[in-house]
Structure 1
Amino acid sequence: MRQRVVQDLLIACIDGLKGFEEAIRTIFPNAEVQTCVVLQIRNSLKYVASKDQKVFMADLKPVYQAMNKDQAEANLLELEEKWGKKYPVVIDSWRSNRDKLTTYFRYPDAIRKMIYTTNTIEGYHRQIRKVTKNKGAFTSDMSLLKLICLATERIARKWTMPLHGWAVSASQLKIIFGERMSTDL
């Protein structure tokens, strides 16, 4: 990213890939790092019996949709009281990852909605996979790269709409990050 003219990274939302946070902090030591809450939820549901998933999700929602970190912690305690004995692995996962999962509580709602999930990136990857999976073998790395570039151009045409509420979010980011937030939009 640094080689592609990214001067600073304010906030990064990442998946649970080991070493990813450390790699980001090596290049951008002041970056805030948030682990994707949606991926944490999906991983949690793998360990919850299907008959319990609906009720468990209703009880989990107040944890990640809380107004602040303290409320989220209180809601996690309630979740643990109800489900801790039955699903200790899930509760332990939320507890051990809570610092990485609660970065977004430092920000106003408009910014939270942009940084708590990697769904946008996952959508892009899904569209790239759709283009490449039916091709079988590629004659060279360059042919694969060309296909990905063409697919990216096609995908990018849909990216003409600004993010919902971007003007408000940008001004809030400018207040929070000061000179680190570029106003050259």
Structure 2
Amino acid sequence: MSDTTIEQIPDSEPTAAVPAGDEQLVAMLVDRARSEGLQLTGEGGLLQQLTKRVLESALEGEITDHLGYEKHGAEGRGSGNSRNRTRAKTVLTDVGPVEVKVPRDVAGTFEPAIVKKRQRRLSGVDEMVLSLSAKGLTHGEISAHLAEVYGASVSKATISTITDRVMDGMAEWSNRPLDSVYPVRFVDAINVKTRDGQVANRPTYVVMAVTARGTGTSRGSGPVTAARARSTG
């Protein structure tokens, strides 16, 4: 399994050009967004939110494979077992504590694998989360990474089901509705240090913005390429 650490590049300045008369409003929006947690890492940061989405999507794939039918699927009627809500659980990850909703089944036979019962610490998903948010992995590559995270105890068919759910979850996040106007935009970057044969830093851009209501949101992310570096340098 690769060993990944995350180093955040120092805070960037707003990149939007602002008329002089609006400077006070923009400053107020930025201050409000920062006070409410416009950040990449740490409590409530972008990477925590994405890690939560990936883990919950994987867990949904697990219980779908365990029960043998999709959520609300007609084939589940009379099957003798079904979903039974969720329970909240906090796990410590490479990007901080993340609260996830772990699905349960009526029969009590479902044993989650990516976040096991009584497991409190989880590593090895941060690099995949970054790559997924930047659309940097294919279905096969995600399957291979998940197989590494899960280990040999999970079948290829189960990994395929889980991969489908993870990709669906990230696609839903990528296609979420956005505001038509953002008064302020921040372009930040992180260095992802991966030990896979040798240690190397891989910078990744993250675009965050402030809405007209003064709330922070993530616009997207992607790898730093030579062309992008020239355009922002």
Specify if TM > 0.5.
no
Normalising to structure 2: TM-score of the pair? Answer: 0.23
Q: Larger relative contact order (C-alpha < 8 A, sep ≥ 6)?
A: 2
Q: Which has the larger share of helix? A: 1
Q: Which has the larger share of strand? A: 2
